[in-house]
Amino acid sequence: MKMDVLALFPEIIAPALQTGILKRIQDDGGLSVNVYNLRDWTTDKHKTVDDYPYGGGAGMILKPEPIFAAAETLNAESDAQFIFLTPQGIPLTQPMVEALSLETHLILICGRYKGVDERVREKIVTKEISIGDYVLSGGEIAALVILDAIARVLPGALGDFESAHEDSFSKDLLDHPHYTRPADYEGLKVPEVLLSGHHDNIKKWRYVEALKRTAQRRPDLLKELELTDEELAIVNKAK
């Protein structure tokens, strides 16, 4: 998979690409990431990327020409999805991340200031994504969120691929609690069942805890699930 990022501040993204799963999956050839500076597609000596808004008002707008020029260069094979990061986009979810991870080429466009000239969205953007209902100063961090979330679901990204499927949201439930050694920390004990070595019981305990946790913290997620009477009883007790 190939991911290109078009940004005014690539230096925000670059260090994260050299760390952890993002680095490993690139080294292994599962993902190729390039971060480009929008100024590289300007034609004036000041490398101008923004301009005043028509109609007046505060704030600057990213000019269309450098973005169109970059899009033409980066999408030479014309198979890319152009994603614009914006608080007005569809809120990012784990199913969206998994669907995006199946694409061959994503180009992420990071806005700055008041945003981009609307014609960029009309002409080349194929999907608009928000990472939450708040406003960041630029799209770079949002692009990094998408890069990281996609990288970890790509085949071979995690040593134990199963673990990605047990994370929150992957089964429409939040993750169950986790413990590591010591079994007793100043009187705070790890649940007995986890020490038992009985795999079926451990699996059941984890599922029940995930149900309870979801009922308590994100009951909205349960609305989509068809729960058995036994599961409903657990949920109702946990609320």
Structure tokens at 177: 């609690």
Residues 6+ apart with CB under 8 A from 179: 190, 191, 194
Stretch that binds ligand SAM, among 108-116, 156-164, 176-184, 215-223 (CB under 6 A): 108-116
Residue from 17, 22, 111, 151 that binds ligand SAM (CB under 6 A)? 111
Stretch that binds ligand SAM, among 19-27, 47-55, 117-125, 126-134 (CB under 6 A): 126-134
Residue from 138, 154, 171, 238 that binds ligand SAM (CB under 6 A)? 138
Q: Give the H or E element holding residue 146.
A: helix 140-151
Cα separation, 10 vs 53, in Å, equals 24
Cα separation, 17 vs 143, in Å, equals 12
Total of chain residues touching ligand SAM, rule CB under 6 A: 19
Binding status of residue 93 toward ligand SAM by CB under 6 A: no
Cα separation, 56 vs 127, in Å, equals 28
Residue from 13, 17, 86, 100 that binds ligand SAM (CB under 6 A)? 86
Structure tokens at 37: 């500076």
Stretch that binds ligand SAM, among 41-49, 119-127, 129-137, 169-177 (CB under 6 A): 129-137
Binding status of residue 142 toward ligand SAM by CB under 6 A: yes
Cα separation, 35 vs 52, in Å, equals 26
Q: Which positions touch ligand SAM (CB under 6 A)? A: 85-88, 110-112, 114-115, 130-132, 134-139, 142
